[in-house]
Copies of this chain bind each other. A is one copy, B any other.
Amino acid sequence: MPARIEDVAAHAGVSTKTVSRVLNGYTNVRAKLRARIESSIHALNYVPNPSARGLAGNRSYLVALVYDNPLAGSSYTMELIVGVLQACKGTPYNAVLHPFEATDDLAAQIDGFVAQHRPDALVLVPPHANNARLLQRLDELDIRYSTISSKLRQSHIDVGFDERRAAAEIVEHLVSLGHRRIGHITGLRGHGAHAWRLSGYRDALRRAGIAYDESLVVAGDFTFPSGVEGAKALLNLRRPPTAIFAANDDMACGVMREAHERGLSIPGDLSVCGFDDTPASLVMSPGLTTVRQPCREIGCLAAESVLQSIRDPALRQQARVPYQLRLRESTAAPGKS
């Protein structure tokens, strides 16, 4: 039978109330007494019972990660999960996962989920992070939440990185190699990543004094097949691009596949770069030039902030974490094989 708070109180010679104060981080306990209680906790190997705590305090000690059905992008989600778990470590909080089916009655779904599990806080991943109705419903329910890479310019907690600048940098890398005709396969419309990465692409062209050519930009949806299709469209142009910047790695892999099909060598005949640094980008041959998005840090920060906001409801924070260019073998100067 595990120790109870009562046992700790008796062991330390204090009231249970004071032990409770220590457990919950109240500051009005004298340092000396606090130390004594903490050593009793340690001696008895005491860990508070989460159910009892939750029941009495009307809390669940649960943070839910709300993400899209993970058919695609599993490594992205997985990394976020690792980050969220890291943030929960050492706290009484536990992470639970909630993959939302992408349906219309999202409000109903969130209501059901909240009713059942009563999470104290949510971390929302795109596309849900961009769903204004959802956020509004959460506000109504008075549930704290943070978002990841939300394109909504709202006054809530959000964590992301400067995707526009990162996209610009990777395109500038292509420019610096000598490329002038650079194709772009966009992400799925509606995602912030679609607009930001496209804007970055245009920023880089503008700064390099290269005219924006609409025909070099084709629509993708972040999937491998859409990368293949995008590559087909671009490579079928009368004057095909010498480099293609795909808005994510899966599509970049699609581009590489199509290039191989056509017998084009990479990077000799075509430079390819992606975005996200998924595991696949490392195992591709050649290795894929991409942007490392620090998913773990993002997940960790998003969870930490939202937990902090439980104590301090006024907290509003727009954190931007650093990204890194990963230059690998899929990009080189044009026209040399």
Q: Which residues of A contact B (CB under 8 A)?
A: 2, 45, 47, 49-55, 60, 62, 70, 74-75, 77-79, 81-82, 85, 94-97, 99, 115-118, 224, 250, 253-254, 256-257, 260-261, 279-280, 282-286
Contacts and interface: CB of A to CB of B under 8 A. Distances in A.
A279 B281 CA distance: 11
Given A50-B54, A50-B118, A74-B78, 8 more contacts: A2-B115, A49-B118, A51-B52, A55-B55, A62-B94, A74-B74, A82-B99, A261-B285
21 contacts: A47-B115, A50-B116, A50-B117, A51-B53, A51-B55, A52-B55, A62-B94, A75-B78, A77-B78, A81-B97, A85-B97, A85-B99, A94-B117, A95-B97, A97-B97, A250-B283, A254-B283, A256-B285, A261-B285, A280-B280, A284-B284
A309 B96 CA distance: 22
Copies of this protein in the assembly total 2
Contact of A75 (B50, B52, B74, B286): B74
| A-B pairs, 3 with minimum CB distance | A51-B54, A253-B283, A260-B285
Contacts of A95: 96-97
Nearest to A96: B94
